[in-house]
């Protein structure tokens, strides 16, 4: 692997973090649920401020923000995902979505729960 091969995934991750908030702001006008759409946008914006999450590739599916170590499908999801709830709160689930790690009243607390579950490196 040469230096360019190592740089390309990092460039793809950074481009995705820059593009996602813009995409979600545009989608809010057409979203079936403004509350859920605003919740996803808030999660993206808060997660983008966390350096350890910022190294991962973010993607959304079914109102849930996921983080992958791969920049293209099939995504490699090994860390928790986070979703807004209809009541304005947030739920953090394990990578397989089968267990709830916790719920939080604020987007910052939800992202802190995700970060707390990240492996040391």
Question: What is the DSSP annotation of 34-102?
Answer: HHHHHHHHHHHHHHTT-HHHHTSEEEEETTEEEEESSSSSSP---S-EEEE-TTS-EEEE-TTSSSEEE
Backbone angles phi, psi at 93, to 5 degrees: -120, 155
> What is the crossing angle of helices 34-47 and 3-28, to 10°?
150
Element of type H or E holding 107:
helix 107-116
Task: For 104-120, write each residue's pLDDT tens digit.
Answer: 999 999 999 999 999 88
Query: pLDDT tens for residues 2-57?
Result: 334 445 889 999 999 999 998 888 887 776 667 788 999 999 999 999 999 999 99
- Its pTM stands at 0.86
């Amino acid at each position: 692997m040469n230096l360019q091969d190592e740089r390309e995934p990092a460039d793809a991750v950074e481009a995705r973090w820059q593009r996602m908030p813009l995409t979600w702001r545009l989608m809010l006008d057409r979203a079936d649920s403004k509350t859920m759409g605003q919740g996803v946008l808030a999660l993206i914006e808060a997660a983008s401020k966390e350096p350890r999450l910022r190294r991962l590739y973010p993607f959304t599916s079914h109102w849930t923000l996921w983080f992958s170590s791969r920049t293209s499908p099939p995504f490699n999801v090994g860390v928790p995902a986070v979703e807004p709830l209809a009541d304005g709160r947030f739920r953090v689930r394990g990578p397989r979505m089968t267990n709830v790690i916790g719920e939080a009243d604020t987007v910052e607390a939800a992202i802190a729960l995700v970060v707390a579950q990240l492996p040391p490196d």
